[in-house]
Amino acid sequence: MSSLMFVKKHAFYCARNFGSQSYKKVRIKDILQGRKNNESADVQGWTRSVRKMKNHVFVDINDGSTAQNIQLVMSKDLFDRRVQFGTSISVRGKIQQSIQNEKNKYEILCDDLDVLGTYAEDAPLKKNASYDMQHLRSLLHLRMRHYKMAGVLRARNCVEMAMHKFFQEKGFLHIHTPILTSSDCETGGNVFSVQPDQIDEQESSDSSEDFFGAPAFLSVSGQLHLEACAMGMGDVYTLSPAFRSEKSHTRKHLNEFRMLEAELAHSKDLADMVNLMESSVKYLLQELLLNCSLDLATIEKDSPGHLSKLEKVASKQYVIMSYTEAIELLEKHQKHLQTASPSWGEDLNSDHETFLVQHCDSTPVFIVDFPSCSKPFYMPVNSDGKTVAAVDLIFPEVGELCGGSLRESDLDKLTSRLTALGLLPAYEWYLDLRRYGNTPHAGYGMGFDRFVTFALDIRNIRDAVPFPRYKNSCVL
């Protein structure tokens, strides 16, 4: 008898046929799209409403797969009195076309009902109550049961998968850039530092000794790591958490956020990146319009015109202007601004960004060639000697959605800039990327959560992520 036979013969679990059934589940989304008509199915979900008739009980349930509920039809005998708003149930039945229900074409005629869990009467989320996002935020662990937050999570899933599809089809490789890093791409402060929570007193007499042998921080950007990968793998991207310890309490900032970053190998023209940014953002919006139409329709009810705004941004050609042109435009229209227009060399604030986008008929605006003074060391200076080959994409409502630049590929220029900033020898490795098999390249980052706030008409970015982290709040 072989070893395996021994186990097969004796294992208790094999005796009860453990592992022989395959994992199958029917989603309400698939039923409502007509893919399961006339099939028998097991469906699980949470009760939304119960209507008792003379002979039958009609129960609407939702399983999270779609904004829409499905109607269950069951005999009075089958019905269980515990089934109320919020109850989790499992039913078995036949999927059939609905005669009476005009909204949903399909329903389930049930022949089996199982109550999986109840809903306490003191529940913070009540039936038929209307909640705004700010109130839901105070119920962080429960708010995904509400259709608004559920819609946000479905949309995030859709946007993320669209993002992978877009970049994978173009041959980009997804890279896991590290979260812990000893390198700080922005060198601008605002980082979180990391150390073991329990420092072993006995082992280390000097409790300030670093776990990693050097200070470790949370990544503010995966750019430099992506550059290292691009210089051998070609085009790469990452969708990764990033962190800033900013204390600002704004509706556009989080301390932990998701960022798409892409690095284009062999690229020496900002136009490559502008094209990639525009086509990727439009693709994400088109996929969202296609796959999350029910959730977007719900948003349209509260914000009429939202859908046509999305369709416009998903199809219209974006405007491109230089930073210098933007300044001229702002100066010329000073009377329409709430704040003073910036002098050349100063940053644009959100008032300026709002004006520029509105001025361009609410079309997203690319601003290129920023003044070199305020930009990081890796951006190459243009031939004018005053500006760098950098680009921001300004979106309606959210302001800066993407930011990117060419990367300085001239070893001498990069060396002298790092020397002047006192960043050698910490960035010797970065210079190596130019010494060995150097190639011109460019890259950009897009705020994933900020994109979601735009696409779903969310006022505060804290409502665009499942578990927001901001000053004084790291709940759960």
Q: Residue 76 or residue 249: which is nearer to a second copy going by CB?
A: 249
Cβ neighbours of residue 305 under 8 Å, at least 6 residues apart?
none
Question: DSSP assignment, residue 473?
Answer: B
Q: Name the one residue in this structure whose structure tokens are 């525009």.
A: 278
Closest CA to 65 of 153, 159, 129, 170: 153
Phi-psi region of 39 (alpha: psi -120 to 50; beta: other; left: phi over 0): beta
Binding string, residues 422-461; x marks residues near a second copy by CB under 8 A: -------xx-xxxxxxxxx---------------------
Pick the binder of a second copy from 174, 312, 386, 413 (CB under 8 A).
Answer: 174
- The DSSP-derived string for 350-398 is HHHHHHHHHHTTT--EEEEEEEGGGS-TTSPBPTTSSEEEEEEEEETTT
- List the one residue from 9, 14, 251, 334 that touches a second copy (CB under 8 A): 14
Contact 80, 115 (CB under 8 A): yes
The pair of three-digit structure tokens given for residue 216, joined into one six-digit string: 């470790």
Q: Is 34 in the site for a second copy (CB under 8 A)?
A: no
**Where does this chain touch a second copy (CB under 8 A) — which range of 71-79, 296-304, 395-403, 468-476?**
468-476
Window contacting a second copy (CB under 8 A); options: 18-26, 70-78, 307-315, 341-349: 18-26
Shortest Å, Cβ 206 to a second copy: 14
Nearer CB in complex with a second copy: 56/351: 351
Q: Which of 116, 290, 421, 424 binds a second copy (CB under 8 A)?
A: 116
User: CB of residue 57 vs a second copy: minimum separation in angstroms?
Assistant: 19
Q: State in angstroms the smallest separation of the CB of 54 from a second copy.
A: 29
Which part of the chain contacts a second copy (CB under 8 A), choosing from 105-113, 224-232, 300-308, 454-462?
224-232
Q: What number of chain residues touch a second copy (CB under 8 A)? A: 146
Q: How far is the CB of 150 from a second copy (least distance, A)?
A: 6
Residue 403 Cβ vs a second copy, minimum distance, rounded to whole Å:
17
| C-alpha count within 13 angstroms, C-beta hemisphere, residue 324 | 8
Q: Within 286-315, which residues bind a second copy (CB under 8 A)? A: none
- Residue 116's H or E segment, with its range, is strand 106-117
Return the residue of 148, 352, 359, 462 that touches a second copy, per CB under 8 A. 359
Residues 238-267 that bind a second copy (CB under 8 A): 241, 243, 245, 247, 255-256, 258, 265-266
DSSP lists the bridge partners of residue 173 as 236
Q: How far is the CB of 99 from a second copy (least distance, A)?
A: 28
Please name which of 26, 95, 11 lies closest in space to residue 66, comparing C-alpha atoms: 26
What is the C-alpha separation between 211 and 199, in angstroms, rounded?
9
For residues 56 and 241, which CB has a smaller minimum distance to a second copy in the complex?
A: 241
Q: Binder to a second copy among 160, 331, 400, 457 (CB under 8 A)? A: 160
Distance of alpha carbon 324 from alpha carbon 367, whole angstroms: 9
* 225: phi then psi, degrees, rounded to nearest 5: -70, -40
Three-state DSSP class for residue 298: helix
Q: How far is the CB of 346 from a second copy (least distance, A)?
A: 20
Write the CA distances from 379 to 265, 273, 387, integer angstroms.
Answer: 15, 14, 10
Which of 98, 101, 187, 195: binder of a second copy (CB under 8 A)?
A: 195
Contact status: 394 vs a second copy (CB under 8 A): no
Three-state DSSP at 31 gives: helix
